[in-house]
Chains A and B, each alone.
Chain A
Amino acid sequence: MISIADALVRLDGMPQAADLAVDPTASTVAIGGRTIHADTLAWEVPIAGTVYGTLLNFTGSLAALGDAVDKPPYKAPPQAPILYIKPANTWIGHGAPIPVPDDAPALEVGATLGVVIGRTACRIAPERALEYVAGYTIVNDVSVPHESYYRPSIRFKCRDGFCPIGPWVVARSRVAAPDALALRVFVDGELRQQNTTANLIRPVARLLAEVTDFMTLSSGDILMVGVPENAPRARAGQRVAIEIDSVGRLENPLVAERDLAAGKRP
């Protein structure tokens, strides 16, 4: 069971996550009486459950498929939540480099809200679903760009470092309306995408109810609510930042995989 008063924070060297006061707008954390900017610290991923993603849960992302949704290979719009998994090898913290493979000129930035589960959630009713939420975080669901949603290779989504998470998990009590959070993506400081969780096809509570009808979510699991349409792309050498109101700002540099292997750091 996870219960958070302010925010769950795990810095490099901490044996376990701590509950600390953060300022999501200023990107600061209070440690030992000092207020420190997140970018000056080294961050670990604050949780260790299973990270699930939800496909096509923004109205615009489904609309972007257009007529194709009724044609092969899809033949119909999704009937139930379509989920996927970002495995443990993909997780990195705030500020850590995202490795860019040699054969990918650019990577796709999948900006999304991560719902962090606080206690075992199985067959939960939508009207009580938020009681099972410990808090919220930001997830960058990175992909090698690919066209098809039919049966994409996990090579495109599950490479090492393809899932920045953080910087922290903000307590549920600090996020009044998870279905009305503005989301912005910046590449090298330039605003490249804006959307809001008001555009979710299945809002947070309904998504949790439908997912937990067929699979149990456990304390520490993260359910990503979906990635908005027109995901921006970024290249090695650039920095990607995702901001979500009330939750915070997650920034990571993209670095060529061969440079990382050679020990280079941004």
Chain B
Amino acid sequence: MKRARVAFSGALHDAVDAGSRMRLADGRLVDEDAVVWLPPFMPRTIIALGLNYADHAKELSFNAQEEPLVFLKGPNTLIGHRALTRRPADATFMHYECELAVVIGKPARRVAKADAYRYIAGYTVANDYAIRDYLENYYRPNLRVKNRDTCTVIGPWLVDRDDVPDPMRLALRTTVNGKVTQQGNTKDMVHDIGSLIEYLSGFMTLGAGDVILTGTPEGVVDVRPGDEVVTEIEGIGRLVNTIADDSAFGRG
């Protein structure tokens, strides 16, 4: 099952995919472009991986470490499918990151890699923007780079775990205005999903709604106001986002 959260006709709704349309929890069938898409689940702790694809680490001149490079994000940064992301006027390098998002379904503490999938609710697509101009050498990547309002796009659907037979073999790609700029496969993760859940649950109890953004492969390029950025993962979804300038956000 593919699940979404949407705003429609004055209220928030849970919805499921029904072919070319979606079915709201109350039974109404609506067109996908008639709703406002929200992040497909209510997030608790948002966990993100830096440099979890060997090629991207090389692209950023970084030698992969033995320990996963983890940082956290707040809920302020999330937006849904087909929304606008702000590019500040002073930014010179702002890039997308297409990532498989793994959503936890129940409390997980000291979970072995072999059991890790039992704790997963499902998967979705995330586009975790970074504005490299604001990178400082303290608590890298600092929240001013990675936790800005509108800079983490997530959705459209939360796909049930059992509907994804092999999440470690999914093609990822990003297009900017229709041109392919990033391509990869989840098989190239440095730390795979099971290892990440084992590692994290070894020191922190994960809970329902926690989400792990598993990192991005190489191929990040600067995006400009007006660009349509589509991050897509095979079998999970196609997440559309548009870059907007300060004026769209009441600034400048």
By a beta-carbon cutoff of 8 Å, the part of chain A in contact with chain B is 50, 52, 55-56, 73-76, 78-85, 87-90, 101, 122, 149-155, 158-160, 214-218, 221
Contacts and interface: CB of A to CB of B under 8 A. Distances in A.
Interface string B84-122: 000000000000000000000000010000000000000
Contact of B139 (A50, A75, A152): A152
A108 to B, nearest CB: 16
A96 B45 CA distance: 21
Contact of A150 (B76, B140, B205): B140
Contacts, number: 100
B187 to A, nearest CB: 26
Nearest to A74: B137
B172 to A, nearest CB: 25
Given A214-B149, A215-B74, A82 B203 contact: no
Given A80-B134, A122-B149, A87 B69 contact: no
A260 B69 CA distance: 29
Contact of B207 (A76, A88, A149, A151): A88
A78 B74 contact: no
Interface string B213-234: 0000000000000000000000
B144 A214 contact: yes
Bin the interface of chain B by size: 20 to 34
A96 to B, nearest CB: 14
Given A83-B147, A159-B203, A153 B67 contact: yes
Nearest to B141: A151
Nearest to A86: B72
A112 to B, nearest CB: 16
A159 B204 contact: yes
Contacts of B69: 151
A218 B45 contact: no
Contact of B204 (A55, A87, A150, A151): A87
Most buried by B among A84, A89, A101, A216: A89
A125 to B, nearest CB: 14
Given A83-B142, A87-B72, A155-B203, A215 B136 contact: no
A149 B138 contact: yes
A75 B72 contact: no
A90 B203 CA distance: 10
A78 B136 contact: yes
A55 B148 contact: no
Most buried by B among A158, A215, A218: A215
Contacts of A81: 144
Contact of B45 (A78, A80, A88, A151): A88
A148 to B, nearest CB: 10
Closest A-B pairs by Cβ, 4 of them: A87-B45, A85-B72, A83-B143, A82-B138
